Amino acid sequence: MNTPATTPPSRTRSFTTVFLIEMWERFGYYGMAALLVLFMVEKVGFTDRHANLTWGAFVALVFAAPAIGGWIGDQVLGARRSMLAGAAILAAGYLMLALPNDSLQHMYASLGVIVVGNGLFKSNAANLVRRIYEGDDAQLDSAFTIYYMAVNIGSTISMLATPWIKEHWGWHAAFGVCCAGMVLGLVNFFLMRRSLAHIGSAPDEQPLNLGRVALVAVGAVALGAGTLFVLQHEAIARGCVYVAAIAILAIFGWMLVRCQHAERAGLIAALILTLQVILFFVFYQQMSTSLTLFALRNVDPQFTLFGIDLFRWSPAQFQALNPLWIMVLSPVLAALYTVLARRGRDVPVAGKYALGFAVVAAGFFVFAMSGRYAVEGRVSSWFMVGGYGLYSLGELLVSGLGLAMIARYVPARMSGFMMGAYFVATGVSQYLGSVVANFAQMPSGELDPLASLPLYTRLFTGLGWLASIGVVVAVLLLPLMNRLSREHHEKSLAQAAAREAQS
């Protein structure tokens, strides 16, 4: 008697499994991110400059580590296994922050563990989504936009919850919630793991090699110790950023040399779009630095409508406006992308980038304009709502499509490593963003909102003009990007036809 073949789970079910663990991972990360700069300023006693640069160096390492994690997922452990190991290590890092230990060494060690966990998790989770929809370019933009929404469901809940918990039970209780969220993500993954049994990289299909596991563990310890050292030395952190920037270009150069002729146009397009993403993340970094400190010192925490007091937010909770807006806008954009694709009118990624920079510029001009309507140095909280709305739309159009861009233009055999390189690029730009945020640093001990307001509005005006330059550059590059995209599409079709003929 013949045994019926097992039907593989649907794409939707496989995607949902990755979506949910990503959601809980982002819950933990952004719950911590909402508090960490304020924790350093208010609890540890850092100056604005020290807190911003420490956060910038940490984020640069958080985003650089997936370059290594992507390679480990592709070549050593497998994408599924690497993602799972990263999630467990992240839970341990958040648990360390939850312990009642305020020493600098303990804080830096906790951040080092988080860097290691994120390195194994981030690029491999995105790579699994790429493999779920492999060969279906029409669904990639839509899938990655919805995937990006997972980030914002998790971060919305945690950015609202952890500041509130901090106000009632203290800093470490709030960090403990981040750990609990990651543990829930792991439990959920184990319950749904069968939906990903057929998705992964080549090592996932092989027995687990304990020797390789040991080598990865040694490397993880080394990376964590290196993070602890780098965070304590500003000059070394800055040098690492410069090295990483050079490494990004070297990686793309190596890929261009190694790639087949038919793959070259797509890789060049990916390089140009990655450089534009680097510019975008300078703006993204302001959310945890200058915009949060602006909310602390110059934003009225009370939401009022027609003279009626509605509710009150703490400074850290204003960061939740970003994921709230993205949850509202993501389904609309995903549906719009799908409709346009069906009608053959899909807007190229490069065009979406240009529009994204335009609305980011508008958002920062709104933040800057708010200063004209300040009362005793405090601006209405509704300016933050409007500014974050525009900024978040721009984020969806640029950062939200960054992973889809890699998935679309980069060959599958390079995708894990290239997604890691993409994260290195975003890490470099976020460190630069923390340097930019320091243009509005307050003198130590200075709390007068009338003194801080002009510093922030001047910074936001400059960022608005910088984003406007990004629009001009993106528009000028459109003809080249359209040609590269067309050439990549034609050669991809030719390769697919050749493979079909051979089979």
What secondary structure does DSSP assign to 148-160, as a single string? HHHHHHHHHHHHH
Cα angle 437, 438, 442; round to 5: 115
Q: What single-letter amino acid sits at 370?
A: S
CA distance 227 to 233: 10
Beta strands in 238-327 (DSSP E): 302-305, 308-312
Residue 96: the pLDDT is: 95
CATH number of the domain residue 180 falls in: 1.20.1250.20
Q: Is residue 1 one of the residues assigned to a domain? A: no
Query: Is residue 192 classed exposed, middle or buried when 0-12, 13-18 and 19+ CB atoms within 10 A define those classes?
Result: middle
Q: How many CA atoms lie within 13 A of 293 on its CB side?
A: 33
Q: Is residue 135 one of the residues assigned to a domain? A: yes
Residue with tokens 């190991």: 85
151-190 pLDDT, tens digit per residue, is 678 888 899 999 999 988 999 999 999 999 999 999 988 8
Residue with tokens 């794409």: 11
Residue 5: the pLDDT is: 47
Q: Is residue 3 one of the residues assigned to a domain? A: no
CA distance 220 to 287: 29
287-339 pLDDT, tens digit per residue, is 989 999 999 989 999 988 888 888 889 899 999 999 889 888 878 887 887 78
Q: What single-letter amino acid sits at 319?
A: Q
CA distance 257 to 403: 22
Q: Is residue 2 one of the residues assigned to a domain? A: no
The answer to which of 349-358, 383-392, 444-453 has the lowest mean pLDDT is 444-453
Q: Is the pLDDT of residue 10 over 70?
A: yes
Which of 162, 186, 164 has the alpha carbon at shortest distance from 176? 162
Our count of domains for the chain comes to 1
Could you give phi then psi for residue 415, rounded to 5 degrees? -65, -45
Cα angle 493, 133, 483; round to 5: 40
Which tops the pLDDT comparison, 450 or 224? 224
Give residue 241's domain range: 11-502
108-161 pLDDT, tens digit per residue, is 999 999 999 998 998 788 778 777 776 665 566 667 667 766 667 888 889 999
CA distance 429 to 433: 6
Instruction: Locate 327 and state its tokens.
Output: 């949850």
Q: Is residue 5 one of the residues assigned to a domain? A: no
CA distance 138 to 122: 24
CA distance 144 to 130: 9
Which tops the pLDDT comparison, 219 or 208? 219
CA distance 93 to 114: 5
Instruction: Locate 65 and state its tokens.
Output: 């580590």
Which tops the pLDDT comparison, 68 or 367? 367
Q: Is residue 455 one of the residues assigned to a domain? A: yes
Mean pLDDT value of segment 451-466: 93
CA distance 406 to 270: 6
CB 84 within 8 A of CB 189: yes
Query: Is residue 306 classed exposed, middle or buried when 0-12, 13-18 and 19+ CB atoms within 10 A define those classes?
Result: exposed
Query: Is residue 277 classed exposed, middle or buried when 0-12, 13-18 and 19+ CB atoms within 10 A define those classes?
Result: buried
Count of all residues that appear for the chain in the document: 503
pTM (global) more than 0.85: no
Q: β-strands 302-305, 308-312: how paired?
A: antiparallel
CA distance 236 to 440: 23
CA distance 289 to 41: 11
State the pLDDT confidence band at 413, using cuts at 50, 70 and 90: low
Q: Is residue 4 one of the residues assigned to a domain? A: no
Residue with tokens 């040694």: 218
Q: Is 375 helix (H, G, I), strand (E, B) or coil?
A: strand
Average pLDDT, whole number, for the chain? 83
CA distance 228 to 120: 18
Residue with tokens 């960022």: 463
Q: Is residue 387 one of the residues assigned to a domain? A: yes
Could you give phi then psi for residue 133, rounded to 5 degrees? -105, 20
Q: Is 2 helix (H, G, I), strand (E, B) or coil?
A: coil
251-286 pLDDT, tens digit per residue, is 777 777 777 766 777 777 777 777 787 888 889 889
Residue with tokens 């800057």: 368
431 Ramachandran zone, left/alpha/beta (phi>0; psi -120 to 50): alpha
Q: What is the sign of the dihedral through the CA atoms of 299, 302, 307 and 310?
A: positive
CA distance 320 to 160: 6
Helix H or strand E encompassing 283: helix 264-284
CB 410 within 8 A of CB 267: yes
Residue 123: the pLDDT is: 77
DSSP state of 299: B
